[in-house]
Amino acid sequence: MAEARTQAFKRALIAYGPLLAALILEIAVFELLGRRQDNPGFASIPNLIRVLGQSAEFGVMAVGMTFVIITGGIDLSIGSLMACGGVVCAMLVKRSGGDAVALYIVAGWAAALVLGALSGSISGLLITRFDIPPFIATLALMSSLRGVGNLITDGKPISPLPDAYQWLGRQQIVPHIPVSVAVFLIVLAGGMLLLNHTQFGRHVRAIGGNEESARLSGVNIARVKWRVYILCSMLTIIAGLILSSRLGAGSPKVGMGDELGVIAAVVVGGTSLSGGRGSIGGTFVGLLVVSMLNSGLTWIGVETFGQQVTLGLVILAAVLLDKLKSW
């Protein structure tokens, strides 16, 4: 038993050690640069919790994207779906009034989740039944969902919304711990359990490792992939509800380019774009690395364009590292 624990610890150290070291170095560098600019406090606990709270929606989406990428797929529609889900929920809540506001909020959440299930079903069917590459299928949905969001709102945000609507994105479940962070941690734990301790998770890894071998072993490839895309879309809707609640509005303009940040977190966390290899724990650490990088660059005054360049370089470095591992 002791030897098994030692081996497990060694494997975890090999898997997460470099990422954790990079994260600690990142925080230390930005703290040092901030102090040189008379702006200390980047490494403080309140700031670290703030960064985690701001990236909660990215983390929720990253859990779903991890499953998709492990199967060897990709989902480019998540940014548009997140915006469209927030719009659908906000439209229903906008009609509320008086004591019925809580009921309308729950109805809005339910309608948005139905939209997520429908979107995931469509992308899954296009990929599994019509053999359309995931890149093309989800790219088409990305454009369509963004267009739907703009059509039903005339391109304008839906606001103002009741104060109760902001509970999910702004309130704290306990002091210093936002509700959004609690939701993210629950999704993270659920994702770990699903991937590591269920038959579904084993089938996801088998498909990404060798789809033909998985098929010969009796795995229903189409059904597993279909469920993976539904899972990713449902988690994207939850992320959209968090973001919409934090903004206090439903806007069709949000989420543009967010798929890049989510994919970056997953890939930096060690999930192979070729499929078959990845972990939810790695995605979590990768999310922290990417989030701290963006927040740190903002902290020292680097503009958005510079952050985009840096994020692109991080994605490229992670892909190259993955290729070196496979070689």
Q: Considering only residues 265 and 8, tell me which one the structure prediction assigns the higher pLDDT.
A: 265
Flag whether 234 is in a domain: yes
What backbone phi and psi angles, to 5 degrees, belong to 270? 105, 0
Separation of CA 178 from chain center: 17
For residue 230, the domain's CATH number is 1.10.3470
> In the predicted model, is pLDDT for residue 15 greater than 80?
no
Flag whether 273 is in a domain: yes
Work out the burial of residue 163: count CB atoms within 10 Å of its CB; fewer than 13 is exposed, 13-18 middle, 19 or more buried.
Answer: exposed
> In the predicted model, is pLDDT for residue 257 greater than 70?
yes
The mean per-residue pLDDT over the stretch 237-258 comes to: 93
Measured distance CA(60)–CA(145) in Å, rounded: 19
> In the predicted model, is pLDDT for residue 326 greater than 80?
no
Range with the poorest average pLDDT among 10-24, 189-203, 305-319: 10-24
Q: How confident is the model at residue 48, as a pLDDT?
A: 84
What confidence tens digit (pLDDT) does each residue in 73-132 have? 999 999 999 999 999 999 999 887 656 788 999 999 999 999 999 999 999 999 999 999
Q: Which DSSP letter does residue 158 get?
A: B
Pull the structure tokens for residue 13. Answer: 């150290």
Pull the structure tokens for residue 143. Answer: 């454009």
Say how many C-beta atoms besides its own lie within 10 A of residue 103's C-beta.
Answer: 11
Flag whether 157 is in a domain: yes
> In the predicted model, is pLDDT for residue 300 greater than 70?
yes
Query: N- to C-terminal Cα distance for the chain?
Result: 33
Range with the poorest average pLDDT among 43-52, 175-184, 307-316: 307-316
Flag whether 128 is in a domain: yes
What confidence tens digit (pLDDT) does each residue in 92-103 have? 998 876 567 889
The mean per-residue pLDDT over the stretch 223-249 comes to: 96
Write out the residue range of the structural domain in which residue 56 sits. Answer: 39-326
Contacts of 88 (CB under 8 A, 6+ apart): 108, 111, 112, 115, 250
Flag whether 21 is in a domain: no
Work out the burial of residue 194: count CB atoms within 10 Å of its CB; fewer than 13 is exposed, 13-18 middle, 19 or more buried.
Answer: middle
CA distances in angstroms from 86 to 90, 95, 187, 269, listed in the order given: 6, 15, 19, 28
Average of per-residue pLDDT values in the chain: 89
Flag whether 1 is in a domain: no
> In the predicted model, is pLDDT for residue 262 greater than 70?
yes
Measured distance CA(81)–CA(68) in Å, rounded: 16
> Roughly what angle, to the nearest 10 degrees, separates helices 280-299 and 2-36?
10
Flag whether 120 is in a domain: yes
Q: How confident is the model at residue 3, as a pLDDT?
A: 65
User: Does the CA dihedral 290-313-63-13 come out positive or negative?
Assistant: negative
> In the predicted model, is pLDDT for residue 7 greater than 70?
no
> In the predicted model, is pLDDT for residue 234 greater than 70?
yes
User: Does the CA dihedral 270-273-279-281 come out positive or negative?
Assistant: positive
Flag whether 33 is in a domain: no
> In the predicted model, is pLDDT for residue 199 greater than 90?
yes
Q: How many domains does the chain have?
A: 1
What confidence tens digit (pLDDT) does each residue in 25-77 have? 888 988 898 888 888 888 888 888 888 888 899 999 999 999 999 999 999 99
Measured distance CA(316)–CA(247) in Å, rounded: 31
